Structure 1
Amino acid sequence: MTLPNRFDWEKLQQFCYHVFSNAGVSKENAETVAESLIQADLRGVDSHGVVRTAIYIERIEKNMMDPFADPKVESEDFATVLVNGNNNIGAVVGKKAVEIALEKAKERGAAIVGVKGSNHFGTGAYYALKAIEKDMILLVMSNASQTMPPTGGKRPFIGTNPLAIGVPAGNEAPFLLDMATSVVARGKIIVASQKGEEIPLGWAVDKDGIPTTNAEAALDGAVLPVGGPKGYAISMLIDILAGVLTGAGFGKYVNNMYENWEEPQNVGHIFIAIDINRFIPIELFKERMDRYISEIKAEPKADGIDEILIPGELEFRKTLERKQNGIELPAKVVKELDEIGKRYSVDLSKAVFSVKDGKQYKEVIN
């Protein structure tokens, strides 16, 4: 039986939870991984959503990630902490680190938490939202395996090292930047490849350094830095902070989770948390943020533009839309999930979206 490709977000999250739980991940950690994946899909960042389930499960099955290990604080000072993820799942390590960062920032006013020994940790927005919920500012950085050449080069050397920043607001949507330092996240090229679609010119080059619109050729080649030399410089800085500084891998020493089946990834992250109340009362800050955002959105619009948006606003709207109307997945991803579900005795068909589910959610949000 061919399954539909639209799924209820809560039921799909439960499906992922049960898959990881049945694969040996603790219940608490399985909840974290499932939440991280579904939140990415809800926000429209499909490249970091349930499409990653298969590779996470495969690395667990082949003992390339250790879901039984506990991330440990390796060193701690007044406002700094170094966490060793001990090769647990990236989302689990990242959640532990951000909790430490927010707690310490509340005590000290600001905190920097570095992480080594981690894995792919999903979207930076997942962690930035946790800070926004606590009325705090958070900067999130992570390095990644080689997918991008240095400016002037043609061979991948650095990752599409992401940067995310979350800032709370009052009545306006919060500021939530979540970006790769490449023109596009490599995961979007993976999704295009799965769908058999071409990619825009300017996203990537093939293995010979020639610009390409072929997703498969791009995956064999390299994605390009956003803003040319500026994106390259920012990506290099993130690699220095998340990799060189923490003792994690950096450059060619961050292992590719799709290709290296001999060694852990050893990804590094950096979380910088700021307690707003140490600078200005939070309610006053939110009022000032609302004014700032509303004045930006009231600026004269260029021809053909209906609305000026702030970073993260489209994703917040996409979240509401997908909660109401379901998450649509590529046929290849549905097939992968169905096969994984059968291996771990979890029925994907129970997560299929129905119109009734959408109506129920619509009544709640209204």
Structure 2
Amino acid sequence: MSLPTRFDWVLLQEFCANVFKKAGLKKQNAELVADSLIQADLRGVDSHGVVRTSIYLKRIEEGMINPAADIEVEKESDSTALVNGNNQIGSVVGVNALKVALKKAKENGVALVGVKNSNHFGTGAYYLLKAIEQNMILLVMSNASQTMPPTGGVRPFLGTNPLAVGVPAGDAVPYILDMATSLVARGKIIVASQKGEEIPLGWAIDKDGNPTTNAEAALEGSVLPVGGPKGYAISMFIDILSGVLTGAGFGKYVNNMYENWEQPQNVGHFFIAIDINKFIPIELFKQRMDQYISEIKAEPKAPNVDEILIPGEIEHRRVIYKKANGIELPSKVVKELQEIAQKYGLDLSQAIFNQKNKEVTK
């Protein structure tokens, strides 16, 4: 009998944490990975949510991720560090590197932390929110395996290398930019493929370089950069900082987690943390951010526009809604989770959303 597809976010997070503990992660790390996945689903970034559970587990089981690895600072100065993830699961590596960056930024005003030997680390917003809690501005970058051609090319060479920027505010919702350098994240095409849906024209090309709306053909081909040559250039810049500079893989040397079962991914990340208090008092900064945001939102609106939004505001509202109304998962993902539950002796049905809970308006 198939399960419903809507789940309570807290209970689903507990289920995922138990899964990763069964797979060999320490309790703290298992809970961190589960938190990272659920936060993505709550924000509506389904491509980086619990849909990734099965591939993370498979890479652990196949020895492509080392859940027991110790993460180490290999080289450092007052305001810089190079972190070696030693092939630990990506979000665990990312959070450890973030802690190094925030500590150094508090001490020295700014910190730059590079990471090598990591894996897919989830959404950039996950790290931004942690930095914002500590009144820090944070920039996060990561490279990824080849899914995007250079402008003028056909064959994938670059990843959809994401760029994320987080800035705290006072009463206003914080500024959170979390974007792939492709027109859309490849994960969205994966989700469309799982749902049997077409994708919009312009998202991707097939393996022969032809525009396509077929998600399966797109996955065999390439996604396209946002803004054409500009997105390509930004993706290349992120690859240089995250890969070339850190000693991680870059370009074709970042291994695909879905296809390469002989080598670790060797993903690279790059964190830039800024202590606001080293420039102006944090409360004054937050007041100025609130003023800035309110003045943007008060700008004259184009026809048929009800509200001007800032980056991250839609996702903030989704979190509120989904916490009250549950996380809706594709039936294929639910089936995968059921199989995982059976394998590890867990009960996914305990995480089903209680329909008696009060629903709120989107």
In structure 1, how many angstroms separate the alpha carbons of the residues matched to 2:53 and 2:274? 32
Which residue matches 1:122? 122
CA deviation vs aligned residue, 1:27-86 (integer Å, no higher than 9, x gap): 000011000000000000000000000000000001100000011000011200000000
Measured at CA, do residues 95 and 357 of structure 1 come closer, stay the same or move farther in structure 2, by a change above 3 Å? farther
Q: Which residue of the partner structure matches residue 70 of structure 2?
A: 70
The Cα of 1:355 is off from its aligned counterpart by 2.3
Instruction: State the 1:310 CA deviation.
Output: 0.2
| Alignment partner, residue 198 of structure 1 | 198
Given residue 337 of structure 2, which amino acid in structure 1 is its aligned partner?
Answer: L
1:58 is aligned with what amino acid?
K
2:171 aligns with: 171
Q: Aligned-residue CA RMSD in angstroms? A: 0.7
SS at match of 2:171: coil
Give ranges in structure 2 of 5+ residues lacking alignment: none
Mapping 1:134-213, distance limit 5 Å: 134-213=134-213
Q: State how far apart, in whole Å, the 2-side matches of 1:111 and 1:356 are.
A: 48
1:243-298 Cα deviation digits (max 9, x unpaired): 00000000000000000000000000000000000000000000000000000000
CA contact (8 A) 1:326 1:358 kept: no
Aligned counterpart, 1:233: 233
Q: For residues 134-186 of structure 1, give each alpha carbon's deviation from its aligned partner in whole angstroms, at most 9, with x where no partner exists.
A: 01000000000000000000110000000000000000000000000000000
1:66-115 Cα distance to aligned partner (Å, 9 max, x none): 00001100001120000000000000000000011001100010000100
Cα distance in 1 for residues equivalent to 2:271 and 2:254: 18
> 1:25 is paired with a residue of what secondary structure?
coil
- Distance (whole Å) between structure 2 residues aligned to residue 190 and residue 222 of structure 1: 12
Q: Matched residues in 1 for 2:157 and 2:23: separation?
A: 33
Alignment-mate amino acid for residue 276 of structure 1: I
Cα deviation, 1:202-248, whole Å, max 9, x if unaligned, reads 00000000000000000000000000000000000000000000000
Q: Are 1:248 and 2:248 an aligned pair?
A: yes
Question: What letter is aligned with 1:159?
Answer: G
Matches within 5 A, 1:13-32: 13-32=13-32
Report the Cα offset of residue 356 of structure 1: 3.3
Q: Aligned pair count?
A: 360
For structure 1, list consecutive stretches of 5 or more residues without a partner in the other structure: none
Q: How does 1:297-312 map to 2 (within 5 A)?
A: 297-312=297-312
Structure 1 pair 163–358 and aligned structure 2 pair: CA distance change class (3 A):
farther
The 3-state SS of whatever aligns with 2:233 is: helix
Q: Match for residue 57 of structure 1?
A: 57
Counterpart residue type for residue 314 of structure 2: L
Measure the CA separation in 2 of the matches of 1:117 and 1:75: 14
Q: Report deviation, 1:124.
A: 0.3
**SS in structure 2 of the partner of residue 193 of structure 1:** helix
SS in 2 for 1:115: strand
User: Who is 1:4 aligned against?
Assistant: 4
TM-score (norm 1): 0.98
Distance 1:320 1:73 in 2: 37
Q: Deviations over 1:295-344 (max 9, x none)?
A: 00000000010000000000000000000000000000000011011111
Q: What is the one-letter code of the residue matched to 1:36?
A: S
How far residue 357 of structure 1 moved from its aligned partner, in angstroms, is: 4.0
CA distance in 2, matches of 1:38, 1:219: 25
Shift of 1:358: 4.5
Q: Contact 1:177 / 1:311 at 8 angstroms: preserved in 2?
A: yes
- 1:20 offset after TM fit, Å? 0.3
Question: Would the aligned equivalents of 1:8 and 1:357 in 2 still touch at CA under 8 Å?
Answer: no
Does the aligned pair in 2 maintain the 1:125–1:178 contact within 8 Å? Answer: yes
Residues in 2 aligned to 1:326 and 1:287: alpha-carbon distance in whole angstroms: 34
Give me the whole-angstrom Cα distance separating, in 1, the residues matched to 2:65 and 2:325: 34
Q: 2 CA distance for matches of 1:358 and 1:87?
A: 43
1:86 matches 2:115? no
Q: Is 2:225 the counterpart of 1:219? A: no
For 1:281, the aligned partner's letter is P
Identical-residue share of aligned pairs (%): 75
What's the TM-score once normalised by structure 2's chain length?
0.99
* Distance in 1 separating the partners of 2:357 and 2:262: 44
Name the SS for the 1:356 alignment partner: coil
Report whether the alignment pairs 1:317 with 2:330: no
**1:100 aligned partner:** 100
Structure 2 counterpart SS, 1:258: coil
Q: How far off is 1:346 after superposition?
A: 1.2
State the secondary structure of the residue aligned to 2:270: strand
C-alpha separation in 1, matches of 2:222 and 2:71: 32
